[in-house]
Amino acid sequence: MAYTITDECVMCDACRPECPVEAITEGDPAYIIDADICTDCGNCAEVCPTGACVPM
């Protein structure tokens, strides 16, 4: 199951460098996780200060 980023995202850039497969890209108005690339590692959720990275 891939992760997704909710509207709670404040684009702080904490999650993007933590993604080992570079599935997170800058969107508008929040970051986006490509579900086809995401490996469900949870690194993004561990570092997100707002809890915006959640399992789909």
Degrees to nearest 5, angle at CA 17 with 39 and 10: 100
d(CA 16, CA 38): 12
Host domain of residue 43: 3-55
Contact 14, 49 (CB under 8 A): yes
Degrees to nearest 5, angle at CA 45 with 1 and 50: 130
- Look at the chain and report how many structural domains it folds into: 1
pLDDT attached to residue 55: 97
pLDDT attached to residue 1: 87
**Tokens matching residue 13:** 């850039």
DSSP class of 45? H
CATH of residue 15: 3.30.70.20
Per-position pLDDT tens, the chain of length 56: 899 999 999 999 999 999 999 999 999 999 999 999 999 999 999 999 999 999 99
